[in-house]
Amino acid sequence: MKNKKNYLTPGPRTKCIHTSGPEDPWRALTPPLYQTSTFTFPDFDQVDRVLKGEEEGFVYGRMGNPTTERFETLVSELEGGEKTRAFASGMGAISAILIHLTKSRPEMAFPKVLYGGTRAFIEKYLIPQGCLIHWFDPREEGWGEELSRRLSPKTAAVFAETPSNPVMTVIDLGRLSGIAKSAGVPLVVDNTFATPILQKPLALGADIVVHSATKYLGGHGDLLGGTVTGNASLMERLSFEEGSYLGATLSPFHSWLLLRGMKTLPLRMEAHCRGAMNIAEFLSHHPMVKSVHYPGLPGDPGHKVAALQMKGFGGMLSFSLGDDQKARKVASRLEFFKIAVSLGDPESLIEHPASLSHRQMSPEGRMALGIDPGFLRVSVGLEDPEDLILDLKRALEA
């Protein structure tokens, strides 16, 4: 961000609105959209200067774009990282960094409770390529000691997400980063649920942060995107190698949409958090509800850690009715909650993991993760919380 006076230290709301980037010669209030696949040069002397890094410039859309670079800079500023590389989706970002890290080290460590897409990539790509996976369960006593024993110089990284998808497990990032650093292993954190507004993994000891920008960063359900943030040298290598040659490039238009959406990110997260807390409290007192998973509730196992490492408890929660048919019927009766697999939109969304996101897993596998047949995951939107609670009350008691 252009900082004309040294005493100005912009807050997140200011950063989201006043994004960094090249000055527009026409002084447009909204950053321009560079909707182009390639860039031209007046002569080969300038080609040489740009490719040698002696002059700023762009060559081809798969390698970089001014609109996308502005979005990447904003994410870096919010996360407190040196550099960000944007990708065409969250899975594009996750797969790129995992491929990059495991090229030289054939082992990885992951928590058992993990986003289904990440788990599928592990099982369908990393393991068949010979990568040894060390699973750990942060819900169990002694998980830290067990993980420490498994890490070695062959371990490419420890990967984690907190709160986890979909059971909302909270991992102590300070403790996890200490374990990783003691073994000389980088820590990668998926910060999609929390966003950099609520949680800053790099400040808590992580080395790399990933996002599905499709979710809260975009915030309007109209785009796909992903990001990886870390130190400049690693991000330069990632950009040149996997970022360029895998081809999962974020489009200029989606970059522009992300810049637009992120102007309201701090305000949206305040509303998501407030609505989720109200709904979690309502569900925790309803006689039909067997359990509620939300770190904002004082009785939640992750509450104490979340209160220390997060500035808010987020807009995601899950709950169980204990029975598959009850869960499906309640979700189908809702008016304001739409059945869908995504999250972070203005509209409230609900999904039954056994029917959607975790459908391919065996019932035993889902139960091992804490996903029972009556389990429902909720993305609380920006509607009036009172209306959402009345909607849930009507559906539960119909």
- Of 34, 83, 115, 372, the active-site residue reads 115
Pairing state between β 375-379 and 316-320: antiparallel
Burial class (CB in 10 A: 0-12, 13-18, 19+), 182: exposed
**Cβ atoms 194, 162 nearer than 8 A:** yes
The 8-class DSSP code of residue 381 comes to -
Of 15, 83, 139, 215, catalytic: 215
Contact 136, 112 (CB under 8 A): yes
Catalytic residue among 13, 62, 112, 338: 62
The angle formed by the CA atoms of residues 92, 220 and 83, to the nearest 5 degrees, is: 45
Q: 137-142 — which CB contacts under 8 Å span 24+ positions?
A: 137/111, 137/112, 137/113, 138/111, 138/113, 138/169, 138/171, 138/172, 138/176, 139/113, 139/169, 139/301, 139/370
3-state helix/strand/coil string of 262-291: HCCHHHHHHHHHHHHHHHHHHHHCCCCCCE
Determine the Cα–Cα distance for residues 197 and 219; give it in Å rounded to an integer. 13
Reply yes or no on whether 190 is catalytic. yes
CA-to-CA distance for 166 and 113, rounded, in angstroms?
Answer: 8
Of residues 83, 85, 190, 345, which has the active-site annotation? 190
Active site residue 345: no
- For the chain, the distance separating the N- and C-terminal CA atoms, rounded to the nearest angstrom, is 53
**How many angstroms separate the CA atoms of 155 and 324, rounded?**
39
Helix/strand/coil for 117: helix
Token pair for 197: 């507004």
Identify whether 62 is a catalytic site residue.
Answer: yes
What SS3 class is residue 77?
A: helix
Which active-site residues does the annotation give?
62, 115, 190, 215
